[in-house]
Amino acid sequence: MRKAYGFLAAVLIVCGITAASTIPTVKAAGPTERYLHVRVQDSKDGGESVSVNVPLSMAAAILPTVNKGKLHNGVVHIDNAEMNDIDVKALLEAIKNAPDNEFVSVKQKDEDVRVAKQGGNLIVHVIQKDKDAEKVDITVPMKIVDALLSNVKDNEVDVAAALKALGDAGGEAMLITVQSTTEHIRIWVDSNGNPAE
């Protein structure tokens, strides 16, 4: 009979271990997860709204595994022909080392364009004055520009390093907003996985 009790105890131990394996493990407190958010809202009545939230750690883990076209190991190869022989790396290096300034300001009948460096960010504003009245604001922290261009060849950009830099940066960073009469697009980074609309 004692053997039977022993066997029963062994069965209960096995069941206990199996059941314990189903309990989710408590995560160790690590660095706060950061998310890349994309919102597209159709301004029309009853229009569609699309919301995508990607954990940056997930994007950073996936990107180096994608080897297709010009993207290899998180690095994008840019053909010289596409850049019209402009040395983008040298250009951005010059912007990085320059003080805050307005680099380009174009005012036309149908479009205004402004490119500036302000508070450690590279800023591009485009305002179209046609019937769509599209307004584009792009804000790229210089740290991201730096990460894109460091440790790669002249005709390459390191997207994986840029993602890592985005993840390491603190606070909320609005990267792109596009506002037109028909839609509103926003791309930003923060630490909130379920942001309210």
Instruction: Kindly list the residues in this chain that would bind other proteins in the complex (CB under 8 A).
Output: 1, 3-4, 7-8, 10-11, 14-15, 18-19, 21-22, 24, 27, 33, 35, 42, 46-55, 57-58, 61-62, 64-66, 193-194
User: Given the complex with other proteins, which of 32 and 105 has the nearer CB atom?
Assistant: 32
- Whole-angstrom Cα distance, residue 106 to residue 35? 34
Q: What is d(CA 152, CA 65) in angstroms, rounded to the nearest whole number? A: 18
**Side chain identity at 143, as an amino acid letter?**
K
The C-alpha angle 53, 119, 173, rounded to 5 degrees, equals: 10
What's the token pair of residue 5?
A: 């009790």
Name 100's Cβ contacts closer than 8 Å, sequence gap at least 6.
116, 117, 118, 119
Minimum distance of other proteins from residue 103's CB (angstroms): 37
Q: How far is the CB of 99 from other proteins (least distance, A)?
A: 39
CB of 41 to other proteins, least distance (A): 9
Q: What is the CA radius of gyration of the chain?
A: 25
Residue closer to other proteins (CB basis): 28 or 104: 28
Q: Are 104 and 115 in contact (CB under 8 A)?
A: yes
Question: Minimum CB separation from other proteins for residue 162, in Å?
Answer: 17
Closer to other proteins by Cβ: residue 52 or 86: 52
Would you say 8 or 94 has its CB closer to other proteins?
8
Q: How far is the CB of 115 from other proteins (least distance, A)?
A: 33
Q: What is the largest CA-CA distance in the chain?
A: 97
3-state SS class at 176? strand
Q: How far is the CB of 188 from other proteins (least distance, A)?
A: 15
The span from the CA of 102 to the CA of 40, in Å, is 29
